[in-house]
Amino acid sequence: AEFMSRFIPVGQKRLTNVSVVRYKRCGKRFEVACYKNTVIAWRNKVETDIDEVLQVHTIFADVDRGILAKREDMLEAFGTDNEDVVCIEILNKGDFQVSEQERQMQIDALFRDIASRVTEMCLNPETRLPYPLSTIERCMRETLHFAPNTGRSAKQQALQVVRQLQTSGAIPLVRAKMHLRLLVPAERLAEARSALRELATTGEQQLVLLSEGEAFGEGASSQLECLADPGLYRAINDAAGALGGSLQVVALKALEGAAEQGAAPGGPRANLAADVAQMRVSDG
């Protein structure tokens, strides 16, 4: 009678179309009843409202049969009988059967995430602007026939798509570079140029030195401006710190032509032509 009085208000009808998350601990089975197509969104932190995920804040031993978990079992397994706390742990760690609809939703969301990252990483070299998301998605589908892999990160797959698009020649595409300004004490300018040259000739990432000059005002220092792949930012920042200087981001996205046109006139570019030529490395 006590069991029935606890379970009947929940209602069997309310729990007929559910996704069950199961978790075994201390030899006991615990289950929670969730709305369809919500568990993956919760784990990916797309959905943060637990009330939109759980059909009821109740811990079951068997959802299908409507058997509730015993309080003493929860205390033994989780150290608490607070069902909200236990629900979250089961949601985060339990096993569940992914429906075909949920699996397709996960793949579609990953596909859009990858395409969005490509648009953020790259530019059309002719317009110096990012491509519309729809253009990247169309190329991924029609040219690359790209199928996302749920076992790999969106960033890894976005880098793969960039390389494949560049190889295919479907659209003109270049990686967007960061326009950076390195400020160092004047007496350490040569060391800074040497550090940038070393970074530029190591690996496949690209760095192009644009200009150098004097920064005026209190604590005057020399400055170097360059275009660099985002992957080099940390290394350049570390180099600046080691030389007692700092690094400024002039622009998050820049092309060589645009940055050179926008650079302040009067810099000693004549002496940098050889450096620019030496410091170009293929994007790969």
pLDDT (tens place) for every residue of the chain, 284 residues total: 443 334 444 444 345 568 899 999 999 999 999 988 788 888 888 888 999 999 999 999 999 888 999 999 999 999 999 999 999 999 999 998 776 777 788 899 899 999 999 999 898 988 888 999 999 999 999 999 999 998 888 989 999 999 999 999 999 998 888 899 999 998 898 899 888 888 877 655 678 888 766 655 445 578 889 888 888 889 999 999 999 999 999 988 775 555 545 444 444 333 333 343 333 333 33
Tokens 């317009």 belong to: 127
| Cβ contacts of 273-280, under 8 Å, gap ≥ 24 | 275/193, 275/197, 275/209, 276/208, 276/209, 276/210, 278/197, 278/200, 278/201, 279/196, 279/197, 279/200, 279/201, 279/207, 279/208, 279/209, 280/200, 280/206, 280/208
CA distance 207 to 189: 17
Q: What is the dihedral of CA 46, 50, 52, 58, to 10 degrees?
A: 150
Report the run of H or E that residue 182 belongs to, with start and end.
strand 177-184
Helix (H, G, I), strand (E, B) or coil at 227: strand
Helix (H, G, I), strand (E, B) or coil at 42: helix
**pTM score above 0.95:** no
- Among 224, 136, 223, 209, which Cα is nearest to 177's? 209
CA distance 111 to 213: 45
